[in-house]
């Protein structure tokens, strides 16, 4: 929104005429597209898996995500602006392709990085509030008789192992050995 208000104030200060409607249409159409893309970026980041085991692969996927984000954002706001301007009979011109795209891609990069940082930061805070406790990945128990069904238990233990905390379901415990009394 600062782009529209900055443009209007600069035009007023220099005594130039200012098209308030056009400035707000440009700003709001871009904002609407960014808001529509935030859930898409969130799903993309969730599928990206937040561990940093392969940083190059992650960086490449984040870069490809940025390119997709920027292209969808630009195409979307151009479509919105064209649709709005078509109603009164006027038309929308994007302007210089090379400078316009360079400006939008630079701006989109900053917005994309901000969205990624906020989403990763939010996930980090949620993980810290929850703690490190997670259920251990377990193999399904092979049953010898098809009629034998184990009752589901909602009881669980918090086990510390290798400086991490894990949740272990009671019905998955075969035997317990204590290494210390802490």
pLDDT of residue 67: 95
Confidence of residue 144 (pLDDT cuts 50, 70, 90): very low
pLDDT of residue 136: 52
Q: Flag whether pLDDT at 24 surpasses 70.
A: yes
Q: pLDDT tens across 78-109, in order? A: 888 888 877 666 766 777 778 888 888 999 99
**Same domain, residue pair 92 and 160:** no
On the CB side of 124, how many CA atoms lie within 13 Å of its CA?
A: 7
Q: Is the residue at 47 inside a domain?
A: yes
**Same domain, residue pair 126 and 140:** no
**Same domain, residue pair 164 and 92:** no
Neighbours of 34 (CB within 10 A): 20
pLDDT of residue 131: 60
Q: Does the global pTM surpass 0.75?
A: no
Q: Flag whether pLDDT at 32 surpasses 70.
A: yes
Neighbours of 29 (CB within 10 A): 20
Q: What are phi and psi of 159, to 5 degrees?
A: -115, 130
pLDDT of residue 74: 92
**Same domain, residue pair 47 and 120:** yes
Burial class from Cβ neighbours inside 10 Å (0-12, 13-18, 19+) for residue 69 reads buried
Residues of the domain holding 142: 134-172
Q: What are phi and psi of 68, to 5 degrees?
A: -65, -45
């Amino acid at each position: 929104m600062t782009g529209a208000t900055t443009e209007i104030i600069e035009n007023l200060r220099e005594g130039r005429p200012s098209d308030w409607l056009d400035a707000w249409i440009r700003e709001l159409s871009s904002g609407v597209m960014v808001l529509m893309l935030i859930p898409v970026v969130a799903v993309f980041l969730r599928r990206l898996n937040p561990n940093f085991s392969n940083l190059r692969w992650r960086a490449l996927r984040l870069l490809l995500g940025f390119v997709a984000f920027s292209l969808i954002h630009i195409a979307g706001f151009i479509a919105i602006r064209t649709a709005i301007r078509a109603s009164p009979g006027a038309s929308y011109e994007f302007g210089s392709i090379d400078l316009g795209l360079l400006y939008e891609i630079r701006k989109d990069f900053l917005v994309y990085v901000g969205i990624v940082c906020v989403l990763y930061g939010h996930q980090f805070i949620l993980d810290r509030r929850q703690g490190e406790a997670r259920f251990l990945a377990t193999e399904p128990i092979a049953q010898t008789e098809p009629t034998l069904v184990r009752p589901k238990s909602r009881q669980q233990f918090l086990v510390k192992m290798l400086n991490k905390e894990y949740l272990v379901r009671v019905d998955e415990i075969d035997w317990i050995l204590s290494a210390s009394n802490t």
